[in-house]
RNA sequence: CGGGGCGUGGCGCAGCCUGGUAGCGCACCUGCUUUGGGAGCAGGGUGUCGGAGGUUCAAAUCCUCUCGCCCCGACCA
């Protein structure tokens, strides 16, 4: 391709709206343009990269035995009502009506449609298992789209759905997809981790997320430094030392085994946060217990959650424990509620003396604490030397007691340095990641709701066991940039670069330069290399800047000076240094470097 | 949805407070010079000042409404 003929509107200035690197660079490199909030045009370069990611996904999915289909983007409400998600999905589901006033939605995912297809066309266990996928534009009406392609409303996704006669088959396919995903992201040249994940509102029993490690990631990953454990922080369980058997306590816990002292009361004017209190009273954060008032979304019931001062509540865990308790979907209470419940301004809540109808639930880590500091339920007051016996943890949420659950639960977010929940000996490290893939064991949630059944070998109808597997194709392209860039621009992993090589004749008006460049360009094209010839009549510096910004893995620089000696430069974007080779050797050498890059990136 | 902010040429911005000829840089077009890291000089084109209403002799500027966008928060395969 000739550069002069391509639509590559690069920008010298950063676009004002772009916050993260991938967004900035994709706009500057002329890959995307915004049409509306979270909705973008893909220009030739951007689209080439997206297509390359999609092609890798397609090849690996096919290799894994899946079949590609194409499902509708606009879907009738009936199917969504059948699964129950029409009401449940919320505002992210963009709904619309056709001219006959029939309700539709723009698909954010396709469980309903695929389940409908399979229930109509697949009848027998002999036809199972089956894995169907599509690569398609999806729409989710995100509350706040941001970060360019990382979190758009419209995005390109590969979604796959598998159907099985039994759990064993479904699990086998789950792990088949797990391996397939590893191959896909490896082939894309990405540094990623597969982590245990929460299943969210898709439902199902277990799942893994594939995370590209990057500072700008929105997800936090807990990873063990000695075993292979890795999980989304939302999901990661916390292993608390068993405190029942004192002889087995680690030394640092033993220090907590002090004599319980009587409660005191201190004046802490304006010290609302644990940090402020710790500093004011000269105690470590670990000596404080935070009391957080939560409020149910429905009704106005409140409850108090206790966590150690240096810990944070994991609301996903909390809500899971509270499922079907009447405390559905709790969230941090507003200041008004806090004042009503505790009788003190926000910042001074504590477990001692809370109204009886406010149940107290504590994180397990609190169980090991003695003589800790809590809020006094009174303005500018904290209570040192509080102990668990002082406030009678209310096993009071009746259902907890009824279920034999304790009021000390795993409710906190795991933090760096915690013991690994799996091996127990390793320490947890926290990384940031971008979710590019997610695999779920769905079970029978959709097949039961939508009567997607098969006849087993006895002729009985059974619901199919399902799995579903997503990859954010456009997001993967953005994640690759987050992970591969420098101050000059993008450094594409060769397998997903929009072009593999750029040939840069520094002076297009010099016949010798142009002839040599054209010769190399033609030879590369003939060899099947994706090459672009920068035939623009521009200064050298300009061309270099564009080439670096766009991030071609290899550039071939043809300049008058080197050409006098019959030489050109072959430069690798990632390595930086230039290799001088003869014109006649240039194409072969460049091809070698590209193949090597594609090889090592695999 | 709560809080904050921004809409002025293709892009980035100034002007608004204190109403009175709409500006700067980049980009774009022409010419000459230049030509290995976003050139120099000269000339040129480019704006419903996001939209609607209002105040005023006069509105980019003040007021009201509205639309769009960005940031923080809550939310999220």
pTM score, whole prediction = 0.88
Residue A52 and residue A148 share a domain: yes
Mean pLDDT of chain A: 87
Residue A513 and residue A477 share a domain: no
Does nucleic acid strand B have an atom less than 7 angstroms from the CB of A545?
Answer: yes
pLDDT number for residue A396: 44
CATH value at residue A320? 3.90.960.10
Measure the N-to-C terminal CA separation of chain A; round to a whole number of Å. Answer: 26
Buried/exposed A108-142: b ≥16 CB within 10 Å, e otherwise: bbbbbbbbbbbbeebeebeebbbbbbbbbebbbbb
Residue A357 lies in a domain: yes
Residue A396 and residue A260 share a domain: yes
Residue A266 and residue A354 share a domain: yes
Residue A334 and residue A196 share a domain: no
Residue A517 and residue A383 share a domain: no
Mean pLDDT in residue range A435-464: 93
Residue A243 lies in a domain: no
What is the rounded distance in angstroms from the CA atom of residue A152 to the CA atom of residue A23?
11
A375 — pLDDT class (breaks 50, 70, 90): confident
Residue A72 and residue A110 share a domain: yes
Tokens 């796959």, residue? A160
Q: Using the CA of A508, give the nucleotide whose C1' is nearest.
A: B35
Residue pair A53/A437 in contact by the 8 Å Cβ criterion = no
CATH value at residue A513? 3.40.50.800
CATH value at residue A167? 3.30.930.10
A204 — pLDDT class (breaks 50, 70, 90): low
Parent domain of A218: 10-237+430-482
Residue A55 and residue A140 share a domain: yes
Residue A331 and residue A224 share a domain: no
Distance A147 CA to B14 C1' (A): 28
Q: What is the pLDDT of residues A482-527, one digit of tens each?
A: 999 998 999 999 999 999 999 999 998 899 999 999 999 999 999 9
Residue A175 lies in a domain: yes
Residue A300 lies in a domain: yes
Residue A394 and residue A328 share a domain: yes
Residue A524 lies in a domain: yes
pLDDT number for residue A399: 47
Does nucleic acid strand B have an atom less than 7 angstroms from the CB of A287?
Answer: no
ipTM given for this complex: 0.85
Residue A525 and residue A474 share a domain: no
Residue A419 lies in a domain: no
Query: Does position A293 have pLDDT exceeding 90, yes or no?
Result: no
Listed ranges A180-189, A243-252, A416-425; the one with the highest mean pLDDT: A180-189
Tally of structural domains, chain A:
3
Residue A506 and residue A478 share a domain: no
What is the rounded distance in angstroms from the CA atom of residue A144 to the CA atom of residue A281?
40
Which region among A161-170, A318-327, A377-386, A575-584 has the lowest average model confidence (pLDDT)?
A318-327
Distance A523 CA to B32 C1' (A): 38
**Dihedral sign from CA coordinates of A124, A127, A130, A132:** negative
Does nucleic acid strand B have an atom less than 7 angstroms from the CB of A539?
Answer: yes
Among left, alpha and beta (phi > 0; psi -120 to 50; other), residue A385 is left
Residue A401 lies in a domain: yes
**What are the Cα distances from residue A388, in Å, to A85, A196, A366?**
43, 34, 8
pLDDT number for residue A600: 59
Hits for CB < 7 Å against strand B across A residues 9-68: 10-13, 15-17, 19, 28, 34, 36-38
Hits for CB < 7 Å against strand B across A residues 378-437: 435, 437
DSSP class of residue A290 equals E
**Residue A65 has which token pair?**
């035995």
Query: Does position A414 have pLDDT exceeding 70, yes or no?
Result: yes
A181 — pLDDT class (breaks 50, 70, 90): very high
- In percent, the amount of chain A with pLDDT more than 90 equals 48
Q: What is the pLDDT of residues A48-101, one digit of tens each?
A: 999 999 999 999 999 999 999 999 999 999 999 999 888 888 788 888 888 898
pLDDT number for residue A405: 53
Q: What is the pLDDT of residues A319-338, one digit of tens each?
A: 777 765 656 667 777 777 78
Which region among A54-68, A132-146, A246-260, A462-476 has the lowest average model confidence (pLDDT)?
A246-260
Residue A415 lies in a domain: no
């Amino acid at each position: 391709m000739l550069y002069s003929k391509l639509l590559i509107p690069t920008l010298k200035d950063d676009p004002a709206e772009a916050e993260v690197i991938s967004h900035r660079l994709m706009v500057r490199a002329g890959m995307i343009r915004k049409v509306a909030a979270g909705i973008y045009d893909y220009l030739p370069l951007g689209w080439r990269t997206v297509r390359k990611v999609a092609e890798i996904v397609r090849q690996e999915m096919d290799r894994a035995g899946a079949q590609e289909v194409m499902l509708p983007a606009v879907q009738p409400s009936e199917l969504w009502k059948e699964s129950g998600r029409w009401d449940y999905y919320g505002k992210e589901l963009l709904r619309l009506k056709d001219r006959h006033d029939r309700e539709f939605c723009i698909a954010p995912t396709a469980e309903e449609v695929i389940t409908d297809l399979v229930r109509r066309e697949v009848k027998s266990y002999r036809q199972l298992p089956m894995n169907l996928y599509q690569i398609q534009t999806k729409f989710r009406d995100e509350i706040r789209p941001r970060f360019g392609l990382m979190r758009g409303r419209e995005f390109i996704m590969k979604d796959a759905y598998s159907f099985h006669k039994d759990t064993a088959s479904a699990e086998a396919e789950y792990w088949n997809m797990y391996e397939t995903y590893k191959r896909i992201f490896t082939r894309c040249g990405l540094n990623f981790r597969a982590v245990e994940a929460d299943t969210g509102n898709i439902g199902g029993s277990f799942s893994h997320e594939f995370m590209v490690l990057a500072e700008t990631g929105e997800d936090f990953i807990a990873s063990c430094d000695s075993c292979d454990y890795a999980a989304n922080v939302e999901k990661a369980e916390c292993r608390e030392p068993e405190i029942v058997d004192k002889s087995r306590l680690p030394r640092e816990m033993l220090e907590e085994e002090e004599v319980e002292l009587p409660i005191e009361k201190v004046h802490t004017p304006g010290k609302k946060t644990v940090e402020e209190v710790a500093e004011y009273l000269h105690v470590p954060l670990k000596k404080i217990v935070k009391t957080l008032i939560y409020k149910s979304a429905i009704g106005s019931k409140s409850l108090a959650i206790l966590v150690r001062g240096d810990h944070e509540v994991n609301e996903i865990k909390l809500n899971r424990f509270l499922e079907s308790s009447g405390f559905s979907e709790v969230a941090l209470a507003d200041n008004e509620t806090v004042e009503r419940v505790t009788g003190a301004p926000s910042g001074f809540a504590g477990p001692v003396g809370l109204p009886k109808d406010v149940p107290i639930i504590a994180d397990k880590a609190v169980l090991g604490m003695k003589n800790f500091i809590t809020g006094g339920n009174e303005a500018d007051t904290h209570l040192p030397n509080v102990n668990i016996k002082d406030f009678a943890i209310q096993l009071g949420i009746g259902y907890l007691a009824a279920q034999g659950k304790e009021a000390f639960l795993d409710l906190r977010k795991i933090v760096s340095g915690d013991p690994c929940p799996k091996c127990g000996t390793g320490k947890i490290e926290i990384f940031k990641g971008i979710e590019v893939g997610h695999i779920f064991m769905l079970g029978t949630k959709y097949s039961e709701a939508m009567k997607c059944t098969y006849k087993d070998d006895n002729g009985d109808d059974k619901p199919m066991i399902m799995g579903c597997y997503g990859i954010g194709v456009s997001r993967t392209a953005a994640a690759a940039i987050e992970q591969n860039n420098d101050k000059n621009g993008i450094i594409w992993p060769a397998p997903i670069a929009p072009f593999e090589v750029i040939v840069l004749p520094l002076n297009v008006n010099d016949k010798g330069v142009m002839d040599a460049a054209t010769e190399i360009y033609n030879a590369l094209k003939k060899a099947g290399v994706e090459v672009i010839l920068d035939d623009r009549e521009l200064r050298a510096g300009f061309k270099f800047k564009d080439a670096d910004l766009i991030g071609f893995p290899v550039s071939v620089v043809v300049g008058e000076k080197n050409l006098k000696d019959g030489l050109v430069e072959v430069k690798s974007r990632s390595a930086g240094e230039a290799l001088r080779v003869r014109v006649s050797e240039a194409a072969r050498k460049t091809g070698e470097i590209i193949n090597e890059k594609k090889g090592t990136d695999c």
